[in-house]
Chain A
Amino acid sequence: MYPEAARLLEARSGQTLLLLGNEAIARASLEAGVDFAATYPGTPSSEIGLVLADIAEAAGLKFQYAVNEKVAMEVAAAAAISGLKSLVFMKHVGLNVASDAVMTLAYTGVRGAMVIVTADDPGCHSSQNEQDNRIFARFANLPMLEPSTPQEALDLTKFAFEFSAFLELPVIVRTTTRVSHARGPVAVSGVTKPRGKAHFERDPKRFVVLPAHAREGHKRVLQKMRLAEGISESTPHNRIEDLGRAGDTGIVASGPAYSYVKDFASSLSGKLMKLGLTNPLPKVKIADFLRSVKRVVVIEELEPYLEEAVRAIANEYRIDVEIYGKIQGLVPRTGELDPDVVAEALVKVGLMPADAVHRLREVKIPGLPARPPILCPGCGHRSAAYAAKQASRRQDVVFPVDIGCYSLIEFAPLNAGDLLLCMGSSIGLGAGISAVSNQKVLAFIGDSTFYHAGVPALIHAVHQGANMTVCILDNSTTAMTGHQPHPGMAEEGKPAVDMEDLVRGCGVKSVEVFDAYDVKRLTKAFRRALGAEGVHVIIARHKCRLLELRDLKAAGETAPLYVVIPEKCTKCGFCIDAFACPALIRASDNSVVIDAALCNGCGVCADVCPPKAIVPLKEVPA
């Protein structure tokens, strides 16, 4: 259960709550009367689903965790085409998966209303890239809103529903980590009861995109976007604000970048143009703004999306104005913006006094050991990857890995990750290596990721006669994003799609299942599979230890404690050097002790330890 869910449903009009941007989006959807919502979980969008999953029934709306983002997009599109209000949300790279549907959905449009939330991740806090999805809105010809704060996340999401209903076109709400995962005061209004059921009305000329119909659809979306331009010119979400003093400089900003500039407003001179509706842009308003100043500074995160538009408008309207942004290198195009990066840019153009950044020069604190995230103590991914590494010793094995907690097996000492691009890529990349090289391949993929995008690649590998071992790291949940369900798990009224059946259905003849903690049998199985021809699937299954501990706690039990018997420990250090559970601590005399506060009682280290010095506490003779 998501702790905030009930509070979000029950909040009354006029209340102010401290909400995450994502919680504000969930609340906005309730206020707009959303009938249907779907997603595939992905940080930083996940909390929208954690909230809606919990309150869907009470709120009278339908919510689905889809097998992937494309399917989420399609089911939500069908709901909106049938006249309902639908919401679909995903992380930025999820929109890549859904893009095939989105590009054409723009042509057909919808009948009810549809809001697409894309949560971008500048700085790659929890992602494989930092693509700027504002470009998607321009690419697909869909309107887009960019909130700066949690309050705006609520306001703009509600506006997006109205906007979408008016245009009969999906509307994109683009957040970033610093909006989705910022918590701020949000004033809420009343909720609207969903309509519930719909009836699909046929209109093949609009909804069946045969070439002749598609050509008309393309014209139709462009007409709608011209209509949207009028809204963009008049909406208060695109506005001009005065800065601290009068001046001849204009700043253009959107999203969190606006907030950073706004916090310096009292020490800045000129005007600030805040853009909340950034596709289509208000060309006339921007042109007027450009005419009213001598120079313009565009402060935005990632790509020069606004800057290119501002330059094009200046050119089109022949406005003589200096434009500064990313193209000449004032604002970085990579990484996240923050108050310091923005201050540095404003100092460089002389808008802020140089001493505003004087502290930046002395802030380097060198020589601190980094603390990257690691697999939890008791994680079954660690034991399975350890077994795979043991089985492949002295062999040339390539290890494609995939998206999930287990991406971390790339780190020392497991070093079991050689290739990673995107969801499901481990099997495709592995099949490619197998096609062009004589190296052995052992691909890791999580259970949820396997259902999401691993299946077509596995079919390909079998059909193309690849020689590879696929290890499905099955912790029976979508762990990294907050333990969401996936199609392999049965829920009330939702049958499970059996993993072994699915793997066999893809044409794999050799499917074996082991407990991920059973390193002995897993090591043997990996060794056998690596020595054989064809595609072998080894499922290393153990429920996420965090969930198991939760279950144990609920049953009033505790996990067993393990200890090192000092007389038996040979100080070889193998358990740390090869397995590296964070509960294993090297003492000053090189012997190993187990940190009882960290140990989650999986007991795998007892099997890893060469002299068998690790035993459950209850077996230690008094």
Chain B
Amino acid sequence: MKGVSVLIGGVGGQGVILTARILAESSLAHGLKAQMSEIHGMSQRYGSVVSSVRIGDAESPLVKKGEANAIVGFEPLETVRLLPWAYNKTVVVTALTPIRPLSVLLGQEAYPPLEDLHRQIKERAGRVIVVDADRIARSIGHEVVANSVLLGALMGTKVLPVPLEVVRKTLAAHVPPRFVAANLEALDIGYSVTIQDEYSIAFA
């Protein structure tokens, strides 16, 4: 398969499509062909949302199962839902905070234990980065920048053929002016989380 493929998944309203958009726009700005898929309409009302981004010379924005280079999950259950697209070299970046589906709130189904979800991710992926994006975002002062933390963590993996600086510029151009500083801070913290994770692996 050509190019680099990224799947981003989460819950409607978390900013999945915006994050995919920033990746795709950054790639285009860096001179690479980029495409993405979006689904609008009903699925954005707190339902599962997934967007695929393909960077490089491909015809379709959709990714074949077992061939995603990276998976970013904004919610643990949604990360696991995307595992069919992972293979033994896939990098997975996942948020920590569960958002319970209605069936769980109603007590009809149970939310799987986080350890189980993490184990499933580790079994299938090449590298796993678990980021408490919500806590980091809160520490910055804006919960809405959690997705930029995860985007930063993805950038730290160096899976994408795009420099961080290009993503910074695109991000700044795509969020409301009053949130630019917080988003850039979130991106940098996310980036450093991955870099530190690398050190801890190297010295383990």
Residues of A within 8 A of B (CB): 16, 18, 20, 43-44, 46-47, 125-126, 148-149, 177-178, 181-185, 256, 258-260, 262-263, 338-340, 343, 359-360, 363-365, 367-376, 405, 407-408, 411-413, 480-482, 576-577, 580, 582, 584-586, 597
Contacts and interface: CB of A to CB of B under 8 A. Distances in A.
Contacts of B141: none
Given A181-B38, A363-B66, A411-B102, A256 B60 contact: yes
A519 to B, nearest CB: 20
B33 to A, nearest CB: 6
A182 B60 CA distance: 9
B41 A43 contact: yes
23 contacts: A18-B34, A20-B38, A43-B40, A43-B42, A44-B40, A125-B43, A126-B39, A126-B40, A148-B59, A177-B39, A259-B59, A259-B60, A263-B58, A339-B65, A340-B65, A359-B87, A363-B66, A369-B111, A370-B48, A412-B102, A480-B42, A582-B46, A582-B105
B128 to A, nearest CB: 16
Interface stretch (B20-28, B150-158, B179-187, B193-201): B20-28
Interface in B99-116: 100-112
Contacts of B24: 18, 183
Contacts of A340: 64-65
Interface in B55-98: 58-66, 77-78, 80-81, 83-84, 87
B103 A181 contact: no
A586 B105 contact: yes
Contacts of A580: 102, 105-106
A365 B81 contact: yes
Given A125-B41, A363-B66, A584-B105, 18 more contacts: A18-B21, A18-B34, A178-B60, A182-B36, A183-B24, A256-B62, A259-B60, A338-B62, A359-B87, A367-B112, A369-B77, A369-B101, A371-B77, A371-B101, A373-B45, A373-B47, A480-B42, A582-B46
A260 B63 CA distance: 9
B41 A374 contact: no
Interface residues of B, number: 55
B120 A365 contact: yes
B148 interface: no
B75 to A, nearest CB: 9
Contacts of A43: 40-42
Nearest to A581: B105
A584 B107 CA distance: 13
A370 B103 contact: yes
Contacts of B108: 412
Contacts of B63: 339
A263 B59 contact: yes
A374 B61 contact: no
Closest 4 A/B residue pairs (Cβ)? A126-B41, A43-B41, A359-B66, A373-B47
B83 to A, nearest CB: 6
A58 B103 CA distance: 47
Given A363-B84, A365-B80, A371 B48 contact: yes
Nearest to B10: A371
A374 B105 CA distance: 12
A273 to B, nearest CB: 15
Contacts of A586: 105, 107
Contacts of A482: 40
Contact of A374 (B33, B66, B102): B102
Contact of A577 (B39, B44, B106): B106
Given A43-B40, A178-B37, A408 B62 contact: no
